[in-house]
Amino acid sequence: EAGVVQSPRYKIIEKKQPVAFWCNPISGHNTLYWYRQNLGQGPELLIRYENEEAVDDSQLPKDRFSAERLKGVDSTLKIQPAELGDSAVYLCASSSSGGDTGELFFGEGSRLTVL
Amino acid sequence: TQLLEQSPQFLSIQEGENLTVYCNSSSVFSSLQWYRQEPGEGPVLLVTVVTGGEVKKLKRLTFQFGDARKDSSLHITAAQPGDTGLYLCAGARGSRLTFGEGTQLTVNP
C-alpha cells in the first residue's frame, strides 16, 4: 500500500513568488494534516482536515497561506507571496482516526528554500 | 510557545551506552506519542502511551508516561548506530497533536 505522497520534494524560489505543495494521503484516511518543520525543530501544525472540512486552522497564517482539500482526498497548500522566513520543510500527514490516539503517517516532506 | 519541552536537545554517545530522553509539559495530555525521524524523511511512530504511569517496551527502547500524564521519558539500552535520528514526543489534547522540539541523537560506532 502506498504511503503519503508529497510533491515537489524540493523547491527553491525567490521571495514574493508563489509556491504550492501537493499531498496525496493514504487511501481511506479521513484526517489530513499540514505541518511546518524548521531545521532541527519539531513539526508545527498549520491545518487539519476531517474529510474536506478544515477543523483546525488556527495556526495557519491566513494572510499568505491557503489550503484546500477538495473532495476530501488530496490537498494543496499554497503560499503567496513567500517570505524568507517561510523556508522550511512542509510535511503532510494522514490518519485513519481524527481522535487523540491515532497514528499519524507522514510523507517525506517538501523542502522550501526562499531566496 | 512550545507546550512540550524535550531534553537534552542534542545527545552524542558511543555505541553500547544507555541514554534517556525527557519530554515535559505543564499541560495534561490524553495520550503521548514518540516518533523517530531520519534525515529527508517524515517522522515514524514508535509508540503511543495512554495511561498515567504506563510503561511500554519496544526491544531496547522503554517508554514511560508520567502518573499525571504531563511528562514522558524514552530510555534506550545499549544504543546502536542505527538508533541515530531525531526523537520527537507529541502530546494529544482533544484532536490536536503538538510536537516537542525534538532530541537529536547521534550514536557513534
Inform me whether the pLDDT recorded for B59 exceeds 80. yes
What is the pLDDT, as a whole number, of residue A98?
A: 58
B→A contacts (Cβ < 8 Å), by residue, are 2, 4, 6, 30-31, 33, 40-45, 48, 50, 86, 88, 90, 92-102, 104
The angle at the Cα of A6, spanning A78 to A53, to the nearest 5 degrees, equals 55
What average pLDDT is seen over chain B?
94
Do residues A92 and A34 touch, judged by C-beta distance below 8 A? yes
B2 — pLDDT class (breaks 50, 70, 90): low
- Cα torsion for A12, A14, A17, A18, to the nearest 10°? 20
What is the pLDDT, as a whole number, of residue A101?
A: 60
Percent of the residues in chain B that have a pLDDT greater than 70, as a whole number: 98
Inform me whether the pLDDT recorded for B104 exceeds 60. yes
Which residue is it, cell 499568505?
A64
In which residue ranges of chain A is pLDDT below 50? Answer: none
- Residues A101, A104: Cα–Cα separation, whole Å: 9
Residue-wise pLDDT tens digits, B20-55: 999 999 999 999 999 999 999 999 999 999 999 999
What is the pLDDT, as a whole number, of residue A26?
A: 95
What is the pLDDT, as a whole number, of residue A40?
A: 85
Candidates A104, A108, A110, A111: best to mutate against B (most CBs of B within 10 A) is: A104
What is the pLDDT, as a whole number, of residue B95?
A: 76
Which residue is it, cell 497561506?
A65
For A65, residues 6+ apart whose C-beta sits below 8 A from its C-beta are A46, A77, A78, A79
State the pairing for strand pair A31-37/B96-99: unpaired
The angle at the Cα of B69, spanning B65 to B72, to the nearest 5 degrees, equals 35
Query: Distance from CA of residue B102 to its chain's centroid?
Result: 8
- Residues A46, A38: Cα–Cα separation, whole Å: 13
